[in-house]
Structure 1
Amino acid sequence: MTTTSQTLAPRVQLDKRLAEYLVIADDGLAFDDVRAGRSPRRRVRHVEHRAVDPVERQLQWDELEGACLDAGETVRLLVLTAVSHGHAAHVARREFAAFNAAVRMGDEIDRHLERGERGWLAIRIADGGSDGELYGDYEDAFAAQKHPEACTYFSISPLCPWTPRMCAEHLEFMTHLRHGCMVYGRPTCH
């Protein structure tokens, strides 16, 4: 009679699972970016996995929040869901960029609507900016762009104002559409 002995190896987790991360982000230098004509960027100073134990979690929060308060008013503590430290940093930067692009897009639209203008606007998908011109139709707006595939085009009118949420949703949709990650009208990437 033969017997085989099997030693169980410790389990190694090779798949990535969503978890909560604490991210210390500095938005202070973003103002310098704007003054220099660049899109504002968030600087990520620190990322760490959020503790599971409630007592440890509170201690961790208090320590990091104190560090943010000591660092200044432009440094903030974020809680993000991600699969890794690097992914959490990326999400923090991406959310900041998306917010600023939506604000910039809204400002571009409002500038024309305040004057009662109507026409076609070309907005850069990446940063929400525009060339500042209003065009008679889609074809003119498309033809006037240096990189037409990097823009979204739509008609504006004082009768149809855009909200900040509409701008954010439109830019997010166009980003996914441009990357080719839309299936049945829903994004497949994160």
Structure 2
Amino acid sequence: MNTGDLVKRHAQHLVIADDRDAFTTWEEHVRVDRLPERRVVHVERQADHPDEREAQWNELSGSVLDAGSESLSLLTVSADSHAHAAAVARREYAVHHAAFRMVEVIDSHLKRGVHGWVAIRIADGGSDGELYGDYEEAIAAQERPEACTYVPVSPQYPWTPRTCEQYLEGMTHLRHGCLVYGCPTCR
């Protein structure tokens, strides 16, 4: 092992992730506040020299291709250590799925041609399935109103997966009192 790998410093890391069994059981898949979890198979710090970096990328991407599994992917993650890189890869996956879930919730109401307010759980992008007449009604109906964010459902307020992802990320930081993306609390 290279002793340089033991030093924590911010760098690019290469992560091989397996998303095949993001939900481990049927109960996990149907649970209301489910968050699929990415399995991290391998992490290594990206080489500093461009030639070494290219060879490293080729070797790891070749390993992913040789495995023949569509669920494996090679990611580049900016992190302070191997463990931090794995955590970032898992978190990005969970936020990505929460954003898609939020879009599904909003779109389900829009498809019925109704508008109002919906309570979205910040942790997983899901909701209680109800559409409320106004913001205050949506808050009052929640057992844990601080765990939710409240958004208007209307064709005038389009939500894409990317905007939902950014919004949920921002609400996560706001919830714990931080306005800095990539803060230590969110790692």
Report if TM-score (shorter chain) is over 0.5: yes
Bigger Cα Rg = 1
Task: Find the counterpart in structure 2 of residue 29 from structure 1.
Answer: 21
Partner-residue secondary structure (3-state), 2:152: strand
- TM-score, length-scaled by structure 2: 0.84
Cα 1:85/1:167, change in 2 over 3 Å:
same
* 1:140 matched to 2:137: yes
Count of aligned pairs between the two proteins: 175
Could you tell me how far 1:147 is from its partner in structure 2? 1.7
Task: Find the counterpart in structure 1 of residue 82 from structure 2.
Answer: 85
Q: Give me the whole-angstrom Cα distance separating, in 2, the residues matched to 1:35 and 1:163.
A: 23
Aligned partner letter, 1:30? A
Q: Is the 8 A contact 1:124 1:151 kept in 2?
A: yes
Task: Find the counterpart in structure 2 of residue 45 from structure 1.
Answer: 41
Partner-residue secondary structure (3-state), 1:30: coil
Q: CA RMSD in A?
A: 2.3
- TM-score, length-scaled by structure 1: 0.83
Could you tell me how far 1:98 is from its partner in structure 2? 1.1
Greater relative contact order structure (CA < 8 Å, 6+ sep): 2
Q: Give me the whole-angstrom Cα distance separating, in 2, the residues matched to 1:61 and 1:160.
A: 41
Could you tell me how far 1:165 is from its partner in structure 2? 2.1
Gaps of 5+ in 2: none
Task: Find the counterpart in structure 1 of residue 173 from structure 2.
Answer: 176
Task: Find the counterpart in structure 1 of residue 91 from structure 2.
Answer: 94
Gaps of 5+ in 1: 1-11
Partner-residue secondary structure (3-state), 1:44: strand
* 1:129 matched to 2:126: yes
Aligned partner letter, 1:56? E
Could you tell me how far 1:50 is from its partner in structure 2? 1.2
Aligned partner letter, 1:22? L
Partner-residue secondary structure (3-state), 1:93: helix
Could you tell me how far 1:36 is from its partner in structure 2? 4.2
Q: Give me the whole-angstrom Cα distance separating, in 1, the residues matched to 2:44 and 2:182.
A: 27
